[in-house]
Amino acid sequence: MDANSNIRPFGPRPEEQRLVSLCLVQDRLAQKALYDRYKDAMFTLSLRVLNDEELAQDALQESFLAVFSSIDRFRGESTLGAWIKTIVVRTAYRKLRKEQHPTEELSHEKEGELIDWGDYLEAEYLEKAIASLPAGYRSVFVLIEVEGYAHKEVADMLGISVGTSKSQLYHAKRYLQRILTAMGLR
Protein backbone atom coordinates (compact mmCIF):
# COMPACT_ATOMS: atom_id res chain seq x y z
CA MET A 1 0.00 0.00 0.00
CA ASP A 2 1.33 3.44 -0.97
CA ALA A 3 2.35 5.70 1.94
CA ASN A 4 0.42 8.59 0.38
CA SER A 5 -2.80 6.65 -0.11
CA ASN A 6 -4.24 8.04 3.14
CA ILE A 7 -3.61 11.61 2.06
CA ARG A 8 -6.71 13.11 0.54
CA PRO A 9 -6.07 15.48 -2.35
CA PHE A 10 -6.87 19.14 -1.74
CA GLY A 11 -10.31 20.04 -3.02
CA PRO A 12 -13.95 19.41 -2.31
CA ARG A 13 -15.02 16.73 0.12
CA PRO A 14 -17.40 14.00 -1.11
CA GLU A 15 -20.46 15.68 0.45
CA GLU A 16 -19.48 18.96 -1.24
CA GLN A 17 -19.06 17.15 -4.56
CA ARG A 18 -22.55 15.69 -4.15
CA LEU A 19 -24.02 19.14 -3.42
CA VAL A 20 -22.24 20.63 -6.41
CA SER A 21 -23.50 17.85 -8.68
CA LEU A 22 -27.07 18.40 -7.52
CA CYS A 23 -26.78 22.19 -7.77
CA LEU A 24 -25.56 21.78 -11.35
CA VAL A 25 -28.99 20.35 -12.22
CA GLN A 26 -30.65 23.12 -10.16
CA ASP A 27 -31.88 20.85 -7.39
CA ARG A 28 -33.56 23.35 -5.04
CA LEU A 29 -33.08 21.20 -1.93
CA ALA A 30 -29.35 20.93 -2.64
CA GLN A 31 -29.15 24.68 -3.22
CA LYS A 32 -30.87 25.29 0.12
CA ALA A 33 -28.54 22.81 1.84
CA LEU A 34 -25.51 24.56 0.35
CA TYR A 35 -26.86 27.97 1.38
CA ASP A 36 -27.65 26.75 4.90
CA ARG A 37 -24.18 25.23 5.26
CA TYR A 38 -22.33 28.45 4.41
CA LYS A 39 -24.70 31.37 5.04
CA ASP A 40 -23.64 32.22 8.62
CA ALA A 41 -19.90 32.30 7.96
CA MET A 42 -20.37 34.17 4.69
CA PHE A 43 -22.72 36.71 6.28
CA THR A 44 -20.15 37.36 9.00
CA LEU A 45 -17.45 37.91 6.39
CA SER A 46 -19.73 40.18 4.36
CA LEU A 47 -20.67 42.16 7.47
CA ARG A 48 -17.03 42.62 8.43
CA VAL A 49 -16.24 43.99 4.98
CA LEU A 50 -19.33 46.20 4.70
CA ASN A 51 -20.07 47.12 8.33
CA ASP A 52 -23.76 47.40 7.50
CA GLU A 53 -26.20 44.55 8.16
CA GLU A 54 -28.58 45.41 5.34
CA LEU A 55 -25.79 45.73 2.78
CA ALA A 56 -24.20 42.55 4.10
CA GLN A 57 -27.47 40.66 3.69
CA ASP A 58 -27.84 42.02 0.14
CA ALA A 59 -24.27 41.00 -0.66
CA LEU A 60 -24.90 37.55 0.77
CA GLN A 61 -27.97 37.06 -1.42
CA GLU A 62 -26.20 38.36 -4.52
CA SER A 63 -23.24 36.12 -3.75
CA PHE A 64 -25.34 32.98 -3.55
CA LEU A 65 -27.15 33.89 -6.76
CA ALA A 66 -23.70 34.14 -8.34
CA VAL A 67 -22.66 30.84 -6.76
CA PHE A 68 -25.67 29.02 -8.17
CA SER A 69 -25.42 30.62 -11.60
CA SER A 70 -21.71 29.88 -11.92
CA ILE A 71 -21.37 26.59 -10.06
CA ASP A 72 -20.42 24.96 -13.34
CA ARG A 73 -17.15 26.94 -13.11
CA PHE A 74 -16.21 25.41 -9.75
CA ARG A 75 -13.22 23.25 -10.69
CA GLY A 76 -12.55 21.74 -7.28
CA GLU A 77 -9.08 23.24 -7.01
CA SER A 78 -10.00 24.45 -3.53
CA THR A 79 -12.71 23.66 -1.07
CA LEU A 80 -16.20 24.75 -1.99
CA GLY A 81 -16.20 27.09 1.02
CA ALA A 82 -13.04 28.84 -0.17
CA TRP A 83 -14.55 29.29 -3.63
CA ILE A 84 -17.77 30.71 -2.16
CA LYS A 85 -15.74 32.97 0.16
CA THR A 86 -13.99 34.51 -2.84
CA ILE A 87 -17.34 35.26 -4.47
CA VAL A 88 -18.66 36.80 -1.22
CA VAL A 89 -15.57 38.99 -0.80
CA ARG A 90 -15.75 40.24 -4.38
CA THR A 91 -19.48 40.91 -4.14
CA ALA A 92 -19.17 42.71 -0.80
CA TYR A 93 -16.28 44.78 -2.08
CA ARG A 94 -18.22 45.80 -5.21
CA LYS A 95 -21.05 46.95 -2.94
CA LEU A 96 -18.58 48.78 -0.75
CA ARG A 97 -17.10 50.59 -3.73
CA LYS A 98 -20.58 51.70 -4.80
CA GLU A 99 -21.23 53.06 -1.31
CA GLN A 100 -17.80 54.55 -0.61
CA HIS A 101 -14.91 56.05 -2.45
CA PRO A 102 -12.47 53.50 -3.84
CA THR A 103 -9.43 52.71 -1.75
CA GLU A 104 -6.69 55.25 -2.14
CA GLU A 105 -3.11 54.56 -3.01
CA LEU A 106 -1.34 55.58 0.20
CA SER A 107 2.29 55.90 1.13
CA HIS A 108 4.14 52.68 1.80
CA GLU A 109 6.39 53.92 4.55
CA LYS A 110 6.74 51.57 7.51
CA GLU A 111 4.32 49.09 5.91
CA GLY A 112 6.08 46.09 7.43
CA GLU A 113 6.18 47.48 10.97
CA LEU A 114 4.63 45.21 13.59
CA ILE A 115 2.17 46.71 16.01
CA ASP A 116 2.03 45.57 19.62
CA TRP A 117 -1.61 44.84 20.48
CA GLY A 118 -0.81 44.04 24.08
CA ASP A 119 -1.36 40.79 25.88
CA TYR A 120 -5.12 40.77 25.87
CA LEU A 121 -7.94 42.54 24.07
CA GLU A 122 -11.56 41.64 24.56
CA ALA A 123 -13.09 40.52 21.28
CA GLU A 124 -16.05 42.86 21.70
CA TYR A 125 -13.84 45.95 21.84
CA LEU A 126 -11.72 44.79 18.95
CA GLU A 127 -14.83 44.07 16.82
CA LYS A 128 -16.15 47.58 17.55
CA ALA A 129 -12.80 49.11 16.69
CA ILE A 130 -12.57 47.13 13.43
CA ALA A 131 -16.13 48.16 12.53
CA SER A 132 -15.17 51.81 12.95
CA LEU A 133 -12.33 51.61 10.42
CA PRO A 134 -12.78 53.43 7.11
CA ALA A 135 -14.09 51.03 4.46
CA GLY A 136 -10.86 50.43 2.54
CA TYR A 137 -8.83 49.88 5.68
CA ARG A 138 -11.48 47.57 7.12
CA SER A 139 -11.71 45.41 3.98
CA VAL A 140 -7.99 44.79 3.78
CA PHE A 141 -7.60 44.34 7.55
CA VAL A 142 -10.41 41.76 7.72
CA LEU A 143 -9.18 39.81 4.71
CA ILE A 144 -5.57 39.66 5.89
CA GLU A 145 -5.71 39.67 9.69
CA VAL A 146 -9.03 37.89 10.25
CA GLU A 147 -9.47 35.68 7.18
CA GLY A 148 -5.77 34.94 6.64
CA TYR A 149 -5.37 35.93 3.00
CA ALA A 150 -2.01 37.07 1.63
CA HIS A 151 -1.53 40.56 0.18
CA LYS A 152 -1.38 39.16 -3.37
CA GLU A 153 -4.70 37.34 -2.89
CA VAL A 154 -6.33 40.47 -1.43
CA ALA A 155 -4.99 42.59 -4.26
CA ASP A 156 -6.41 40.16 -6.83
CA MET A 157 -9.78 39.95 -5.09
CA LEU A 158 -10.18 43.68 -4.62
CA GLY A 159 -8.59 44.82 -7.85
CA ILE A 160 -5.89 46.86 -6.11
CA SER A 161 -2.10 46.68 -6.13
CA VAL A 162 -0.15 44.66 -3.58
CA GLY A 163 1.37 47.95 -2.43
CA THR A 164 -2.07 49.39 -1.78
CA SER A 165 -3.03 46.28 0.18
CA LYS A 166 0.09 46.61 2.34
CA SER A 167 -0.43 50.32 2.80
CA GLN A 168 -4.11 49.90 3.72
CA LEU A 169 -3.19 47.25 6.29
CA TYR A 170 -0.49 49.43 7.82
CA HIS A 171 -2.84 52.40 8.10
CA ALA A 172 -5.65 50.19 9.43
CA LYS A 173 -3.42 48.95 12.23
CA ARG A 174 -2.35 52.49 13.09
CA TYR A 175 -5.98 53.63 13.08
CA LEU A 176 -6.97 50.72 15.33
CA GLN A 177 -4.15 51.57 17.69
CA ARG A 178 -5.47 55.15 18.01
CA ILE A 179 -9.06 53.94 18.55
CA LEU A 180 -8.05 51.45 21.22
CA THR A 181 -5.89 54.04 22.94
CA ALA A 182 -8.83 56.46 22.95
CA MET A 183 -10.99 53.71 24.47
CA GLY A 184 -8.39 53.33 27.24
CA LEU A 185 -7.53 49.80 26.13
CA ARG A 186 -3.88 50.43 25.26
Tens of pLDDT along 72-97? 999 888 889 989 999 999 999 889 88
At residue 105, the pLDDT reads: 41
Q: Is the pLDDT of residue 3 over 80?
A: no
CB within 8 A of 135, min separation 6: which ones? 51, 96, 99, 100, 103
Q: Which domains does the chain have, with CATH numbers?
A: 14-99 (1.10.1740.10), 123-182 (1.10.10.10)
- Collect all residues with Cβ–Cβ distance below 8 Å to 122 and sequence separation of at least 6: 185
pTM tops 0.85: no
Of the given ranges (3-12, 85-94, 168-177), which has the lowest mean pLDDT?
Answer: 3-12
For range 172-177, the mean pLDDT: 90
Cβ neighbours for 151, distance < 8 A, ≥ 6 positions apart = 144, 162, 165, 166, 169
What gap in Å lies between CA 2 and CA 6, rounded to an integer?
A: 8
Residue type, 95: K
